[in-house]
Structure 1
């Protein structure tokens, strides 16, 4: 029908005018047009509508009668969809007639009811020969096509948007997976990887291409026999979320896996928790050590909270306050119940300090015992966690000061007695400062010497003519001793002048006070006129001086004790962690030979470190008390350096550090203590190797510069920050003090070196271009005038001698110490006899030939001092003159002096290196043989 319609329309312009009027063709044309689905419009040569078929009427809403004789453009095409007018000259449909061309395209018509709708049109001219008679226009409503096309475009747009959102979501997921520390992967039902994150690739040391599409059990067959296999299968089978930990032995790493099932397979988040597991073990070990410390009851420990409750206390604390453990655990003991009202402000101040700093400075107060008695205590506290939280626990540390308070009370009573005697005695009190200006001149001084206080105060002591000519030299020497601090308490007996010119005899009791730097603060002199009663008054004056010395000694002992407690509590426990950890593992006998060797090396290294820390602390103790003494002799520095290099050879080799030595010949000798100078060089070398990375270099140089011997130690290590360089020799100062620091220690080594160098009259200087650029330490020591290396009779360290043929008697009440010492000495060739008590030693000496006695000091019943006094009381043929060495854990200066006073030739402290012990025994035997010659 449509093809017939199209044919007739296309032939319409070719029919003769007469034929058009023929009925046949007219009826045929009307039938075709009336039944056509296309809207048809016929325009005459004036472009006015002459025909519309029913489809056109339905399309436009107009009838033929409404459009006949009108321009079709004015009826249905006069306005654009946006409301703007549509000029005829711009309409492509109406161009078909004037241009005699067929026009096709799409337009938008206006319906009679005013709505717009899209159409496709074909406008063809009607010709008769060369003449154009009009235009026929075919129009098709394409509203549904446009709607369908719009729907397709919107669908495509939505599809593109969804694709972009999916891609963006995937990128966001990948970004999230890349940002987290977990390794993420997805497995399908065939156990093949369908996704792996970058983090997992790094953890597995494989590329994504190596893993995607491959089975996890093929790539990691060792996982089949681990917790991973059954857990993954359970999650896949039962569709349950699982979380578990396992150790991947090939990597020696712990992982925590969180498994999430889905219809496609399982998604796994794998987090490495090796450090967390190790930290947990360290924490458990730390807790065990702390509990051991708390249960040792060396001091009181209690846990409580800011609300006042106490929920744990050790026996020391319970005994101190008189409560039972059951009462504490039942919550019946409160901080506030224990504290007298007058001490509550101190508690409030400590609580505020805890909130701000996390620790409270130790302070003294009193507690009320359960029986109502008061007990003086020293208390310190700290938060268990920081920062402050009202709900967290507080740990308190306690010392019972009852005995100390009794001592202080006794001291105070003695001081009151002393002051009373001073105020009521005819002794003159004279005080002068570091500038030798008189700052105190008592009334007794006015009576004894005749000068009034106004005449003397503020004047130089030298300007006061009270010293006779024969006493000037002694007085000058006394003043030197007092000002230098060499002798803080000096007694002198002088002849003095009075203002009237009389000569009187006085006893001067002088004491000097110095600050921490050694500078003189003041000298106090108690002057007694003993012209008539010299002897009787002297005895009374000696009593006063002894009481004053006792008071000063007690104050100094308390200060030293507090300083040491602060230091020891911070550092000494660190080396115990690897020692105790590896020891426990060795006891379990589950380590392979390599790990066993590593464990033994670690234990030995940390034990040596602890011994070194203890020795540093002892040196600092001696320095703080002014008791560090030197054994001065001509010393060859080249031998010192060689000996120190030998001890540091293995540490340097273990880090592949090249040590270059340049020792200038004939530098000369210095006056010094060989052991202490070796300590200086060893410490500098040890620091250089410690702070130099693997493959670095250390140079040590000895040369003569003018009248000084100069030792230079240079390294290529981490260097020193310019801000820290001025403090590098300070006590307890370290460049890195954070919890995360790389290098440990007490920060004492260089401070001790600095002090030792200055004691030898030398200087030490530290230089560094900056961090990572190495450091240089330069030591200068004064040379002996006219000295040369040949002045030293031998090297500082004698070649190590064996002990073959030497019979050593070892006495120690500790069986472990006794056995290990005996074994070490037997290895050196000595014959060993061991005893556990002093009584056995005395019995053995009467019938056994012993060459050396090696004795502990702290033993039950008869200690090492008493033992040696009894030995020295024996005849020489029964061992009374046997060489003796004290091997003891009592390492203080006073302990050394007591050992020497008891008759020991040497005082060695535990722990001791086997080589040093063998050398000490060989040395006392050699000296004994030399005495026989």
Structure 2
């Protein structure tokens, strides 16, 4: 076919002619062929087959000479697949009846051409329908284009208004679109993004980001990752990067990705700060939803539960702490329903972390709201178990203190009662001559008992303040044990208690303070005698045990209950602190003994099978090198237990000045010295005492320390400032109730020659004064 004529008939198109009459179809073909491509079909089957393959004409003309049902079937089948807008249908009809034409138009036919007609009319009618179709399609395209442009404008407006970076790329990752937020944030255009994510991401995040992006492009999975994105000023901020794949319906291949980059830097910093505050907090912090399931928890709360944080999230209260559910759940429900906070509510129970131990918690709960809606509960839980234990310990300590004060009051008042009673009776002449010696012995015995109580209290005070000091030397413990047994022998015989000894008499040596070691042994023996019933037995042993010396005191007496045994060495503890207790004392002896043993580097242990089955106390002290054993340790001095009567020293000619602000104490010392034929002058203050020293130049000065106005320290400094001719070299003894080691050191440092603690042991004091008298006599003879 030659070139088609292009004239007023319009642009060539494709015409399908459908009909069974070869003559009519041939005439129509010849008329249209010069202007259009014409295909002919004898029936509807071939037409529908070609349409099914996606091939369609510009116009289809159907010959009405075909059986009407066949022509109508073709029209119906075509319009079932292709609507009226797809291409026009022209029916060549044999009748002009309006009813027939209306039927065709209703079935989807665009126009009817009635025979007879000429070739020009056919071509004109076909061309007119083509022009109308093309005009319609143009209008549709223009409308679509306008709609697309409007949609794109709206999309860009919305996209640019978003606080996020929005981008699109092809399935291979090549970027096609970005919104204005990209440019304003990065300072670059699409060219920057086309260089690759590696150019805009933090170098540390690139491997992780690209690995996940490549994986998602391969699998089509949703892309979600946090990574730092560089800002135009070079700063990096955390962004949440998300992308979703776009596919054609029914297709597997990804045509595009649409993605966003959301700035979450402030959120991450806030979360990090909150996590630092909450995570490092010593109290458990968590967020519960309305179903009482944990949504967030910190490490402290996880530790309380005994479960990892990850295991807690999503679990309910009943799963995490079933033992606490009964009390905790109603409290939380009340907060959620009322909106009122729960403040400082104490609960107790077990958790998986400690299922068999009751723990105590302080719970606070605050409603979490969005507007007026309560969406959950913020819980703050503090483990106060140790605090509760400390409170119980404090209560116990307070109870023990009260018991101790009551006991101390009793123990101090009891000897005072005997002292005051007998002293009053004697002063009023109510004691017969034959009973006076007994009364004096009772007063002396109770005074010594009271002095021992005070000494124990002072030892406890020194222990508590860390002021108790030892003066150690190599000591043979054998002599100390034996002398201590001699001291308690009379008390044991009075109760018909048999004292057995199993003492290793080899040369065993320990580094010890002899007085304190004797105090340890005496405490144990005195306790054994006190708690052993009449006719009982006490066995004392001394032996070498490896590199230690072991001293054991075992009795068959009252014993120690299993409940009290762990506390037997604690201060102020007594197995029986009631008013009906059988044995007296302050309960300090064993506490002092333990501390003294530990100061010597040793250990002390108590054993008992229970009440009524006796007790054993074991003291172990480090044994010193055998070289010292061979050389011989310094034997312990004999017991300082005072004799029952006062030593009557001969102090004839000794000049003594006594300075004491307490008149009774001053007269007592003066009287005792005068009984020994000393010449005594009494002064009731430091100023008067200094004047007497200047005037008399005595052989000895006895002075108290604590006095009103000037104390004993000031007095001795003033005396030592005098010339020898005025008494500056006078021997001086401090007689004071300031009895600590520091007090002794301070007195000697101030200028005193000796320090004697009150209450004064007259035998000891007179013996010291006697030695000074001998020295004074020797100086005179020279």
TM-score by length of 1: 0.36
TM-score by length of 2: 0.42
Which of structures 1 and 2 has the larger relative contact order (alpha carbons within 8 angstroms, sep 6+)?
A: 2
